[in-house]
Structure 1
Amino acid sequence: MSVHDDLTAVQRCLDDLHRSLGRLEHQLGSGGLEIRRVRLDADHLRESVALLREAAAAPDAPRRPDLVTISDTPYDISLWTDSDDEGLGARDRRAP
Protein backbone atom coordinates (compact mmCIF):
# COMPACT_ATOMS: atom_id res chain seq x y z
CA MET A 1 0.00 0.00 0.00
CA SER A 2 1.10 3.54 -0.62
CA VAL A 3 1.30 6.21 2.04
CA HIS A 4 -1.78 7.85 0.57
CA ASP A 5 -3.74 4.59 0.85
CA ASP A 6 -2.62 4.10 4.44
CA LEU A 7 -3.58 7.64 5.39
CA THR A 8 -6.98 7.19 3.75
CA ALA A 9 -7.52 3.97 5.72
CA VAL A 10 -6.61 5.73 8.95
CA GLN A 11 -8.97 8.58 8.09
CA ARG A 12 -11.81 6.11 7.49
CA CYS A 13 -11.15 4.49 10.88
CA LEU A 14 -11.19 7.92 12.54
CA ASP A 15 -14.48 8.72 10.80
CA ASP A 16 -15.92 5.46 12.15
CA LEU A 17 -14.64 6.36 15.62
CA HIS A 18 -16.24 9.80 15.34
CA ARG A 19 -19.61 8.28 14.44
CA SER A 20 -19.37 5.73 17.26
CA LEU A 21 -18.51 8.45 19.75
CA GLY A 22 -21.53 10.42 18.57
CA ARG A 23 -23.77 7.43 19.31
CA LEU A 24 -22.14 6.97 22.73
CA GLU A 25 -22.62 10.64 23.56
CA HIS A 26 -26.27 10.33 22.63
CA GLN A 27 -26.68 7.31 24.95
CA LEU A 28 -24.48 8.44 27.84
CA GLY A 29 -24.71 12.20 27.57
CA SER A 30 -21.88 14.51 26.62
CA GLY A 31 -21.26 15.98 30.07
CA GLY A 32 -19.18 13.17 31.53
CA LEU A 33 -15.45 13.57 31.95
CA GLU A 34 -14.71 10.23 30.31
CA ILE A 35 -16.61 10.92 27.09
CA ARG A 36 -15.11 14.41 26.86
CA ARG A 37 -11.60 12.95 27.21
CA VAL A 38 -12.24 10.37 24.50
CA ARG A 39 -13.71 13.05 22.23
CA LEU A 40 -10.67 15.30 22.76
CA ASP A 41 -8.31 12.39 22.10
CA ALA A 42 -10.16 11.52 18.89
CA ASP A 43 -10.02 15.17 17.78
CA HIS A 44 -6.31 15.24 18.53
CA LEU A 45 -5.84 12.13 16.38
CA ARG A 46 -7.70 13.81 13.52
CA GLU A 47 -5.36 16.82 13.74
CA SER A 48 -2.30 14.56 13.84
CA VAL A 49 -3.42 12.63 10.76
CA ALA A 50 -4.04 15.92 8.96
CA LEU A 51 -0.47 16.96 9.78
CA LEU A 52 0.80 13.62 8.50
CA ARG A 53 -1.15 14.08 5.29
CA GLU A 54 0.38 17.53 4.78
CA ALA A 55 3.87 16.21 5.46
CA ALA A 56 3.40 13.35 3.01
CA ALA A 57 2.07 15.72 0.34
CA ALA A 58 5.11 17.99 0.52
CA PRO A 59 7.54 16.59 -2.08
CA ASP A 60 10.55 18.55 -0.82
CA ALA A 61 10.13 17.47 2.79
CA PRO A 62 13.16 15.51 3.96
CA ARG A 63 12.40 11.91 4.80
CA ARG A 64 15.17 11.59 7.36
CA PRO A 65 17.84 13.91 8.66
CA ASP A 66 21.01 14.36 6.65
CA LEU A 67 23.87 12.21 7.87
CA VAL A 68 27.07 13.84 9.04
CA THR A 69 30.28 12.05 8.18
CA ILE A 70 32.81 11.88 10.99
CA SER A 71 36.36 11.28 9.91
CA ASP A 72 38.32 8.32 11.28
CA THR A 73 41.59 10.24 11.24
CA PRO A 74 42.93 11.02 14.72
CA TYR A 75 42.63 14.52 16.12
CA ASP A 76 45.64 16.76 16.40
CA ILE A 77 47.19 16.01 19.83
CA SER A 78 48.01 19.71 20.32
CA LEU A 79 44.29 20.32 20.88
CA TRP A 80 44.51 18.51 24.21
CA THR A 81 47.72 19.92 25.74
CA ASP A 82 45.95 22.26 28.17
CA SER A 83 43.31 19.80 29.37
CA ASP A 84 43.30 17.31 32.20
CA ASP A 85 42.56 13.64 31.76
CA GLU A 86 38.89 13.38 32.54
CA GLY A 87 38.33 12.07 36.04
CA LEU A 88 42.06 11.54 36.72
CA GLY A 89 43.21 15.06 37.49
CA ALA A 90 46.29 16.77 36.14
CA ARG A 91 49.25 14.68 34.98
CA ASP A 92 51.76 16.28 37.33
CA ARG A 93 49.59 15.96 40.47
CA ARG A 94 48.38 13.03 42.53
CA ALA A 95 44.78 12.18 43.17
CA PRO A 96 43.61 12.90 46.75
Structure 2
Amino acid sequence: MSEYDELTSIQRCLDDLYRSVGRLEQQMGSGGLEIRRVRTDADHLRESLALLRETAGTSAPQRRPELVTISDTPYDTTLWTDSDDEGLGARDRHAP
Protein backbone atom coordinates (compact mmCIF):
# COMPACT_ATOMS: atom_id res chain seq x y z
CA MET A 1 0.00 0.00 0.00
CA SER A 2 1.12 3.51 -0.65
CA GLU A 3 1.61 6.09 2.07
CA TYR A 4 -1.59 7.85 1.01
CA ASP A 5 -3.58 4.60 1.18
CA GLU A 6 -2.24 3.82 4.65
CA LEU A 7 -3.13 7.27 5.96
CA THR A 8 -6.60 7.03 4.43
CA SER A 9 -7.12 3.64 6.05
CA ILE A 10 -6.08 5.03 9.43
CA GLN A 11 -8.46 7.97 8.94
CA ARG A 12 -11.37 5.60 8.29
CA CYS A 13 -10.54 3.60 11.42
CA LEU A 14 -10.37 6.78 13.49
CA ASP A 15 -13.72 7.90 12.09
CA ASP A 16 -15.22 4.56 13.13
CA LEU A 17 -13.67 4.92 16.57
CA TYR A 18 -15.05 8.44 16.90
CA ARG A 19 -18.57 7.26 16.00
CA SER A 20 -18.31 4.35 18.45
CA VAL A 21 -17.16 6.65 21.23
CA GLY A 22 -20.11 8.93 20.45
CA ARG A 23 -22.58 6.04 20.73
CA LEU A 24 -20.94 4.86 23.95
CA GLU A 25 -21.13 8.38 25.30
CA GLN A 26 -24.87 8.46 24.64
CA GLN A 27 -25.37 5.16 26.45
CA MET A 28 -23.14 5.89 29.46
CA GLY A 29 -23.49 9.65 29.66
CA SER A 30 -20.70 12.11 29.03
CA GLY A 31 -20.09 13.11 32.64
CA GLY A 32 -17.88 10.21 33.73
CA LEU A 33 -14.12 10.55 33.94
CA GLU A 34 -13.51 7.37 31.96
CA ILE A 35 -15.61 8.36 28.96
CA ARG A 36 -14.09 11.85 28.94
CA ARG A 37 -10.63 10.26 28.87
CA VAL A 38 -11.62 8.04 25.95
CA ARG A 39 -13.06 11.05 24.09
CA THR A 40 -9.89 13.06 24.78
CA ASP A 41 -7.69 10.19 23.58
CA ALA A 42 -9.73 9.89 20.38
CA ASP A 43 -9.34 13.65 19.84
CA HIS A 44 -5.59 13.37 20.35
CA LEU A 45 -5.39 10.57 17.80
CA ARG A 46 -7.25 12.72 15.27
CA GLU A 47 -4.89 15.64 15.88
CA SER A 48 -1.84 13.38 15.62
CA LEU A 49 -3.04 11.92 12.34
CA ALA A 50 -3.67 15.43 10.97
CA LEU A 51 -0.09 16.39 11.86
CA LEU A 52 1.19 13.20 10.27
CA ARG A 53 -0.74 13.92 7.08
CA GLU A 54 0.78 17.42 6.93
CA THR A 55 4.26 16.02 7.40
CA ALA A 56 3.74 13.28 4.82
CA GLY A 57 2.41 15.80 2.31
CA THR A 58 5.41 18.10 2.60
CA SER A 59 8.18 15.53 2.78
CA ALA A 60 9.89 14.65 -0.45
CA PRO A 61 9.60 11.06 -1.57
CA GLN A 62 12.63 9.03 -0.72
CA ARG A 63 14.88 8.47 -3.69
CA ARG A 64 17.54 5.89 -4.08
CA PRO A 65 21.05 7.30 -3.79
CA GLU A 66 22.97 7.84 -7.00
CA LEU A 67 25.28 4.99 -7.84
CA VAL A 68 28.95 5.77 -8.33
CA THR A 69 30.83 3.70 -10.88
CA ILE A 70 34.25 2.51 -9.74
CA SER A 71 36.65 1.64 -12.47
CA ASP A 72 38.28 -1.82 -12.60
CA THR A 73 41.58 -0.38 -13.80
CA PRO A 74 44.38 -0.56 -11.22
CA TYR A 75 45.26 2.56 -9.27
CA ASP A 76 48.54 4.34 -9.80
CA THR A 77 50.96 2.74 -7.29
CA THR A 78 52.90 6.00 -6.92
CA LEU A 79 50.01 7.30 -4.85
CA TRP A 80 51.09 5.02 -1.99
CA THR A 81 54.89 5.30 -2.06
CA ASP A 82 55.08 7.23 1.23
CA SER A 83 52.56 5.15 3.20
CA ASP A 84 52.75 1.90 5.14
CA ASP A 85 50.56 -1.10 4.49
CA GLU A 86 47.89 -0.81 7.13
CA GLY A 87 48.28 -3.39 9.86
CA LEU A 88 51.40 -4.88 8.29
CA GLY A 89 53.95 -2.20 9.09
CA ALA A 90 56.53 -0.80 6.72
CA ARG A 91 57.74 -2.96 3.80
CA ASP A 92 61.35 -3.00 4.90
CA ARG A 93 60.68 -3.90 8.55
CA HIS A 94 59.52 -7.08 10.24
CA ALA A 95 56.41 -7.35 12.38
CA PRO A 96 57.09 -7.59 16.13
TM category, shorter: 0.5 to 0.7
Residue 7 of structure 2 is aligned to residue 15 of structure 1: no
Q: Which residue of 2 aligns with 1:31?
A: 31
Map 1:1-96 → 2, pairs under 5 A:
1-60=1-60
2:38 maps to a residue whose letter is V
Unaligned runs of 5+ in 1: 63-96
Q: What TM-score do you get using the length of structure 2 for normalisation? A: 0.61
Percent identical across equivalent pairs?
71
Q: What TM-score do you get using the length of structure 1 for normalisation? A: 0.61
CA RMSD of aligned residues (A): 1.6
What SS does structure 2 have at the residue aligned with 1:30? coil
1:37 maps to a residue whose letter is R
**Matches of 1:61 and 1:54, distance apart in 2:** 14
**Matches of 2:33 and 2:12, distance apart in 1:** 26
Aligned length: 62
**Matches of 1:37 and 1:46, distance apart in 2:** 14
**Matches of 1:10 and 1:50, distance apart in 2:** 11
**Matches of 1:14 and 1:25, distance apart in 2:** 16
Larger relative contact order (Cα-Cα within 8 Å, sequence gap ≥ 6):
1
Query: Are the structure 2 counterparts of residues 61 and 4 from structure 1 closer, same or farther at C-alpha, using a change threshold of 3 Å?
Result: closer
**Matches of 2:34 and 2:21, distance apart in 1:** 11
Unaligned runs of 5+ in 2: 63-96
Q: What displacement does 1:3 show?
A: 0.6
Q: What displacement does 1:59 show?
A: 3.6
8 A Cα contact 1:55 1:61, kept in partner: no
